[in-house]
Amino acid sequence: MSLLDKPSWNLMERSLDASTLRQKVVANNVANVDTPYFKRSDVLFEDLLQGEMNSSTPSIEGYRTNPKHFFIGKSTTLPNSEIKTDESTAINNNMNNVDMDYEMSLMAKNQLKYNTMIQQMNSEFKKMRTVLGGK
C-alpha cells in the first residue's frame, strides 16, 4: 500500500486538477473578451463532487484486505472536472457573454483556493516526513 494512496490525498489531487483546468478556462475567457460570438465556459467540479457525496448510496462500506477486491457499499470514485459553455446569455452587442470583472474575480477566487490546497498538501507532506523520522 502506498503512503500517498489515501482518499483525502486523491481528493486534493482532483481538486488541484480542477483548479488548474479552471485557471486555463478563465484565462481563455479573458483572452476572448472582444471576440464576436464567443461564449464563456466554466469548470464544474465542486457541484459534481457534492452530488457524488450526497448520492443515495449506502454509507456502509465493506472491509477490503486487498486493493484488488471489489468495493462493497459506497463508491470511492471521484468525479472528473467538466467544462460547460454558457450558450444562453449575451452581454455585448457582438453576442459575446464574457464579463471581464466577473472573470477576474473568478480567477482571484480560484487562485486563493489553489494556494490553500497547496498549503494543505505541504502540511500533509511535513507531517509524513515527521512521522517517518525526517526533519
User: What's the CA gap between 31 and 5, in Å, rounded?
Assistant: 38
* Residue 3 cell numbers, joined: 503512503
Residue-wise pLDDT for 13-54, tens only, equals 888 999 999 999 999 999 999 899 999 999 988 877 777 767
pLDDT at 74 over 70: no
For 28, how many CA atoms within 13 A lie in the half-sphere containing its CB? 14
Helix/strand/coil for 125 = helix
